[in-house]
Amino acid sequence: MDAAAIDERFEVAQRIMRQAVQTALEYHGNLGRLTIEHKGPQDLVSEADRAVEDVIKAAVLGSFPQDGFVGEETGSTESDGGIWIVDPIDGTQDFLLGLPTWCVSIAFAVDGSLAFGLITNPVTGDVYAARAGAGATWNGVPIHAATATSLADGVTAVGHSRHSSPADLAVIMERLTSAGGAIRSIGSGALMIVWVATGQCIGYVEMYINAWDCLAAVCIVNEAGGRTNDFLGENGPAGHGRIIAGAPGVFDQLTALLP
């Protein structure tokens, strides 16, 4: 796929994102009326997640029927060309609690590389975007990862879900606090990873995260001059695995936090 075809998709993704955000906000304003299902302990899905994914999927495949699509709620369709990787609502639990810490995440990959990433927090209106090779922006302004050289230099966000063990989380917390680090955590891995791109956090680690939760943010971090593990290469567009994202000066220290 040539650069012009990717640019076209990046443009369309921004339009689709605006539609998705509008749909998500309509549901967020009527939480009492939502039907909620449990996918597992502490793992929720609501009609809002499905409706937002339907909006995105219909628009993507309506414009680019030959593209592949991986969505958290509707599974995946493969393609030899590019593939869209979408989380309609990352931070579903926070969304359902009425918290402002959730987002819509759209990534696009071609030939095993991330081509762009787009994340919007509908509540705050913050838009984070990156096109491979063209840098990363927050509300249109270029962003850069922090210049930290020690975990004691800033705040590290830590993700955890029912898929990773309490013992592993305890090891990470112990190592991080022993190194003088400060810890933050919310329900959206995508937002916490993107805070590495803005320099607000110096790192993010999680033992188990899904590709749709993190790939847009991974693209944004790398374009902001941060470092991540090669999540797409290690796990594919529909897989799961550990994620490490950080300011370049602390990336190795972040990696050493994980058991």
Applying CB under 6 A, among 101, 161, 222, 253 the residue interacting with ligand LIP is 161
The site that binds ligand LIP (CB under 6 A) totals a number of residues, namely 17
DSSP3 helix / strand / coil % (the chain, rounded to 5): 40, 30, 30
Q: Which of residues 205-244 bind ligand LIP (CB under 6 A)?
A: 206, 209-210, 213
In the complex, the smallest distance separating the C-beta of residue 88 from ligand LIP, rounded to whole angstroms, is 8
In the complex, the smallest distance separating the C-beta of residue 103 from ligand LIP, rounded to whole angstroms, is 9
In the complex, the smallest distance separating the C-beta of residue 147 from ligand LIP, rounded to whole angstroms, is 26
Distance from C-alpha of 197 to C-alpha of 149, rounded to nearest angstrom: 16
Hey, which residues does 247 pair with through a beta bridge?
A: none
Token pair of 150, please? Answer: 């020690």
Dihedral sign (CA 147, 152, 155, 157): positive
CB-wise, 38 or 80, nearer to ligand LIP? 38
Confirm if 103 and 119 have CB atoms less than 8 A apart.
yes
Determine the interface stretch with ligand LIP among 19-27, 145-153, 154-162, 176-184 (rule: CB under 6 A).
154-162
CA atoms within 13 A on the CB side of 180: 9
Applying CB under 6 A, among 71, 117, 154, 189 the residue interacting with ligand LIP is 189
Q: Convert residues 89-108 into a mask of x (bound to ligand LIP by CB under 6 A) and - (unbound).
A: -xxx----------------
Confirm if 149 and 249 have CB atoms less than 8 A apart.
yes
**Cα distances (angstroms) measured from residue 251 to each of 205, 225, 246:** 10, 12, 5
CB-wise, 42 or 177, nearer to ligand LIP? 42
Q: Convert residues 57-96 into a mask of x (bound to ligand LIP by CB under 6 A) and - (unbound).
A: ---------------x--------------x--xxx----
* Cβ partners under 8 Å of residue 188, min gap 6: 90, 91, 94, 101, 102, 103
In the complex, the smallest distance separating the C-beta of residue 105 from ligand LIP, rounded to whole angstroms, is 8
Is residue 181 part of the contact set for ligand LIP (CB under 6 A)?
no
In the complex, the smallest distance separating the C-beta of residue 195 from ligand LIP, rounded to whole angstroms, is 12
Distance from C-alpha of 257 to C-alpha of 111, rounded to nearest angstrom: 31
**Cα distances (angstroms) measured from residue 22 to each of 10, 51, 89, 129, 229:** 19, 11, 12, 18, 33
Q: Which residues bind ligand LIP (CB under 6 A)?
A: 72, 87, 90-92, 159-161, 163, 187-190, 206, 209-210, 213
